[in-house]
Amino acid sequence: MTQSLILHRRGLLMGAGAFALSACSPETSEAGEGQYAASPYRRVSDADWRRRLGDASWRVMRHEGTECPYSSPLNDQHARGIFVCKGCDLPLFRSQWKFDSHTGWPSFYDIIAANIGKKRDLAIGIPRTEYHCVRCLGHQGHVFDDGPRPTGLRYCNNGVALKFVSA
């Protein structure tokens, strides 16, 4: 092969690689993001969040951790009400949207869309969609496309990131 052909192929490969990497940039949901940009919850220090939330919730909500499956008492919460963000009490899910996904985490097939933000997550090497509270930016979980009707979605939430408020 000639030198110019090798350089041309290398240039094409590098361009394709750069294009592929650009597809990995965070994709953020527009819903509610601008409305809460000046929220005082976004100015809380990491140390203050740890004091407010406790270690388990802090690890999940502020450092995108995951609680152990089947450890949340919210798995067995079946009363009528609303599930709110543990960090700022913003309503995220209605109780009628909850279902047993047999995964060990509270799961919902729908959201209060204006209160949920989303971004692409490549932390485990597989593209996933992470979702969070738009007011305090607290990590909640990941959404998958293996849920029930009518949406076909499964919002797999960490129980330590939620509080339940009965109707």
The catalytic residue positions are 156
DSSP state of 160: G
**CB distance 121 to 130 below 8 Å:** yes
Beta-carbon count within 10 A of 159 CB: 26
Which uninterrupted H or E stretch holds 132? strand 128-133
Give, to the nearest 10 degrees, the angle between helix 46-53 and helix 55-63.
140
Q: What angle do CA 87, 88, 89 make, to 5 degrees?
A: 110
Of 155, 138, 150, 143, the residue nearest 74 (C-alpha)? 155
Q: How far does Cα 110 stand from its chain's mean position?
A: 13
